[in-house]
Amino acid sequence: MNNAIECINLSKNYSGNLTEREKDAVNRLNLAVAHNEVHGFLGHNGAGKTTTIKMIIKLITPSDGTVKVFGKDISDCDYLNKTAYVAESVNFYQFLTPAEILDYSTALNPGSFSGLSRADLEAKSRESLEETGLYRWKDTRIEKFSKGMRQRLALALCLFREPDLLILDEPGSGLDPDGIATLLKIIEKFKKKSKTVFFSSHHISEIERVCDKVSIIKYGRLLETIDLASKRLSAAGLEERYLQLMSAEAV
């Protein structure tokens, strides 16, 4: 069976200029995320997590290698109607309201909402905002929102679109403990619905709680993919393994 995401020898090289040196952000990375799996992506700052994610969603063109989503090369297929992405620092249009943002998303992603009536969309919008605790503020302009509330809105958007593949880039940053709990609940919900979630994080406890597998990268190279479900690693165990891998590479 095809994987939901497959990176084969994926590389991204930034050629140097007068102010910056040449850099391999991602170096021959091989990664596979199976269908219906919650897959964590762990690595230090600058390891290449965000670059890899951006290549998967076509925001960056790889220097070399291939990315396949749902078994097809991303350059030949249109998979973004089945995929939702939440960026590391969420920034929405400040003069719009959450209700308008969801409506805007409907217009931008007609494939995700085909066959739904206006009433269905309104019910779906209400449900997603309620689930993320934003329904009270549905008509409040985003300029008045805190960073955490904006992050919640990004999660509401994911719920609203209900994609087959959800890609999250450090979704916990800026969230309070309550927000983290909501985030994990949403990931659990996607898991129950047999959707695929791929998310990067610095928080080992988040990853350990919801992920089936975790891939650890360093300087753009994959060090190991750990099957958390079969190894039954605790957060402490995973942290220990992570630190071990990092120091082993340093030696």
Partner 1 sequence: MSRIFAIGKYLFLESIRDRLFIALMLISVIIVAGNFAMDFFEQGIQDRIIFDFGSSLASMLGSFLCIYLIVSQIRAQLDSKQAYFILASESSRAHFIMGKWLGAVLFTAFNMLVIFGEIFLIIYFNSRIISYISLIYFYIVMLKLSILSSMTALFSVTSSLVVAPSLSVFFYFIGHWGSYIAFALDKSGGGYYTIKTVEFISAYLLPNFKYFTAEHVINENFTGAAEYLTMLTLYTVCANALLLSITALVFRKKDL
Contact footprint for partner 1 (CB under 8 A) = 54, 57, 59-61, 78, 80-81, 84-85, 87-89, 91-96, 100-101, 104-105, 107-112, 141
50 backbone φψ class: left, alpha, beta (φ>0; ψ -120 to 50):
alpha
CB 162 within 8 A of CB 155: no
Shortest Å, Cβ 57 to partner 1: 5
Nearer to partner 1, 117 or 247 (CB): 117
CB 242 to partner 1: min, Å = 27
Identify which of residues 146 and 244 has a Cβ nearer to partner 1 in the complex.
Answer: 146
What CA–CA distance (Å, rounded) separates 206 from 32? 20
What does the alpha-carbon distance between residue 251 and residue 33 come to, in Å, rounded to a whole number?
29
Nearer to partner 1 by Cβ, of 101 and 186: the residue is 101
> Residue 90 CB, nearest distance to partner 1 (Å)?
8
Closest CA to 13 of 21, 5, 25, 4: 25
Buried b (16+ CB within 10 A) or exposed e, 205-225: ebbbbbbbbbbbbbbbbbbeb
| CB closer to partner 1 out of 12 and 195 | 12
Q: State the minimum distance, in angstroms, from the CB of residue 92 to partner 1.
A: 7
In the complex, least distance from residue 154 CB atom to partner 1, rounded to whole angstroms: 9
Q: Which residues contact 50 (CB under 8 A, 6 or more apart)?
A: 88, 169, 170, 200
CB-wise, 153 or 238, nearer to partner 1?
153
Length of the chain: 251
- Give 110 or 177: the residue with its C-beta nearer to partner 1: 110
- Minimum CB distance to partner 1, residue 81 (Å): 5
Q: Burial, 25: exposed, middle or buried (Cβ in 10 Å; 0-12, 13-18, 19+)?
A: buried
**Helix, strand, coil percent content, the chain, rounded in steps of 5:** 40, 25, 35
**Least distance to partner 1 from the beta carbon of 237, Å?**
34
* C-beta of 81 vs 225, nearer to partner 1: 81
